[in-house]
Structure 1
């Protein structure tokens, strides 16, 4: 008999239900169709008795191959099974399983009992592992990290124990699609999802709908300004509860940008106290207005997905939840196993887990990320999918992938200098072309939609206000 010890040194038998295991195996051996009731969620390792594990594995193999599984067809496999020798031998045990069956109707119930006791045993193992690690701490494993590791194990166990989503018929699928179509039809011309505050972008995307949105850019393009300032403020002002995770900037710095967006007093001027009495009053008014908005910021450095999930659950209970923003991907941490395997494994784990988060909460998740520096070597520095770092899982998991680009940023750093072999006339012509391009690019940013799972792709031009770190609609009259 297997036993699990506890901290009080009392030996207790792990949770299991031998009668349910025997009843299920007997039911399937009588009628193989009973296997279909449990095949979607039950596995051999879920059984407590090792002999029962092997019997169920053999049944699965036969039935999956289209062959009959009964005491006769399985006899030779278990005739000499050592674990069943005390029960008159394996062949006799199979016959007895069938003989003791009362009904096959409850096969699924038996299967769920078996899986439930398996999960309880796994939960106990996780608990004991946590206790043992707590008593023998690793100097490199702080308590916070230990909690996150335990939380990851519990979430994995929860995913393992979750019932499969029911298979939806074509009729149900079409009905759900038509309900969404009807809502779109009745609200034609209106934003269906969370507004970004940018009309042309909302028109392309329909607003931010439940899904994973990736916004990539090189440093200094303004991606934090777009995500944590423009979109965050617009969504909150529209009544959506916004939860942001800022791994780069402290909450105070993000809030200072919010004040700049509202008053026009730049963050650096605020930091230096460079404002008039009238501007101070404007800041006070902005503080009051911003204080009423449903937005919250978590500036935990090196945030993990389990941390995001835990905070989001608490936030949803207390404040509701309409949008999650994460700034940014490459500052996040993954599980120790993924971290040890390298950057690609880390990114894959994180983006996959963020997909599960938007599905769990039914809200859009906006994920900001850095791009490869290799694009700086190109003449045309507009980003594309290939510029995403460890792009495979990002491309796969992202429902919408966007890039932020400002030609103005690069042109300001490329002011022409007169070449030694260049005439004054040629230099002036070249300088005038640069001036013209710089004027055309002034305060203009491009949001390049490279992937849109449910809509069009293309480029949206918006206005960029540097001192306020704010993006707004481009005046088409300009």
Structure 2
């Protein structure tokens, strides 16, 4: 087999590298776990040869079903799809495996395949843009807008996977400089809130935990506090943030850790003492093993693949998702029923919790139903676009702050309502909410 490299295609031929495609497939057959290294960015449609894409798609199907991948199982899967003979039979699968001496370079091979796929899409986009330029029914501005969208779509899946918090803190401190110039015997992982832990026993491996509430209640703040607490206890955490950027999350972490007003931090009005506290907080946070992925438009397959990769490489013990309704289902565009799409995402998250044996803390929106009631406290029936959310969750925790509706009703007090607990009691834990710090903390213990 010839050496694999990204080379210019001959004139008139679409960009392609069949050797690289074969090497990706051979690597998967040689070492099935290597599929996790590429599945989040390499799609079946990225393969130039359709047969190669079909083989790759079948391998993904086996991986998602938790089945082993080898010549026998892959051949059987292709046979079920009436594709085995079309791709050349089991002999072709054996040949693919024999052509690759090691699976160590699969990511390099996959990047080459992806590179050529993007070039083919760029050629297609160029042809589309020519058509836009010749379409007299469109204004020049409309044509330019559609042309830009076409080019953007070509590279929209090239975003980074995740970044360690130590790297992100450097950017956070730079942003701050610019503004200034202008535990307790639990069976699971502690939330950091002892009354909540008393109800839940801590976050348990394999559990899907839904953290829900109406807008403004502090759902993101809560799961970020839970994540920081886990990391402080030595548990690596993966955060998939589809609503807030990495920078916004880091800013919140810094303010909470340093106990500095988020408003003063954002406005650049910190005094010397506060700046010192921020610097110390950055030093402490930089030692945490927290990984943040803020790719917009993340789909369930890419999320699961990245979580598996981080489990394999970093040993993550908690997965945080903010929030469920922003994750694209794998059948997006094929099924007009949004509830069914969210149900599919929910099943993926629950399966991921079981597979990785980690708690998955997933934020969810609520419907407007509480606004219509005298008692605004959420109920399980309020879960928005639930589908299987309520059924699939092992634990449902509602975040509720009475003062949001009545400023004089228990100001500074929030309720963590455990509305569903598959393996324990339900109930309500009262905690303190420091709005200026965007932080939940324990109330002082009462003497018995």
Distance 1:366 1:8, change over 3 A: closer
SS at match of 1:395: helix
Say if 2:219 is the partner of 1:250: no
Q: How does 1:197-236 map to 2 (within 5 A)?
A: 197-209=192-204, 210-228=206-224, 230-236=225-231
CA contact (8 A) 2:343 2:386 kept: no
Say if 2:256 is the partner of 1:261: yes
SS at match of 1:318: helix
> Could you tell me which of 420, 438, 458 is aligned with 2:427?
458
Q: How far apart are the structure 1 equivalents of 2:82 and 2:306?
A: 22
> Could you tell me which of 310, 330, 350 is aligned with 1:355?
350
Distance 1:337 1:278, change over 3 A: closer
| Residue 288 (structure 1) aligns with | 283
Distance 1:127 1:344, change over 3 A: farther
| Residue 193 (structure 1) aligns with | 188
Can you give the 5+ residue segments of structure 2 that lack an aligned partner in the other structure?
A: 1-15, 19-69, 89-113, 129-148, 160-182
SS at match of 1:262: helix
SS at match of 1:346: helix
CA contact (8 A) 1:315 1:321 kept: yes
Q: How far apart are the structure 1 equivalents of 2:278 and 2:17?
A: 60
SS at match of 1:391: coil
CA contact (8 A) 1:385 1:391 kept: no
| Residue 366 (structure 2) aligns with | 371
Structure number with larger C-alpha Rg: 1
Structure 1 residue 386: Cα displacement: 1.0
Q: How far apart are the structure 1 equivalents of 2:231 and 2:365?
A: 25
| Residue 293 (structure 2) aligns with | 298
Distance 1:114 1:253, change over 3 A: closer
| Residue 428 (structure 1) aligns with | none
| Residue 311 (structure 1) aligns with | 306
Q: How far apart are the structure 2 equivalents of 1:329 and 1:8?
A: 37
Distance 1:307 1:115, change over 3 A: closer
Q: How far apart are the structure 1 equivalents of 2:240 and 2:391?
A: 23
Please identify which structure carries the higher helix content: 1
| Equivalent pairs, count | 303
Q: How far apart are the structure 2 equivalents of 1:345 and 1:405?
A: 27
- Cα deviations by residue, 1:216-245 (Å, 9 ceiling, x for unpaired): 1000100101001x1011100000000001
Q: How far apart are the structure 1 equivalents of 2:420 and 2:192?
A: 20
CA contact (8 A) 2:331 2:341 kept: no
Structure with more contact order per residue of length (Cα contacts < 8 Å, sep ≥ 6): 2
Normalised by the length of structure 1, the TM-score is 0.58
> Could you tell me which of 412, 415, 423 is aligned with 1:446?
415
Can you give the 5+ residue segments of structure 1 that lack an aligned partner in the other structure?
A: 1-6, 10-111, 149-186, 413-434
CA contact (8 A) 1:243 1:296 kept: yes
Structure 1 residue 312: Cα displacement: 1.4
Structure 1 residue 144: Cα displacement: 6.5
CA contact (8 A) 1:246 1:299 kept: yes
| Residue 90 (structure 1) aligns with | none
Q: CA RMSD in A?
A: 3.3
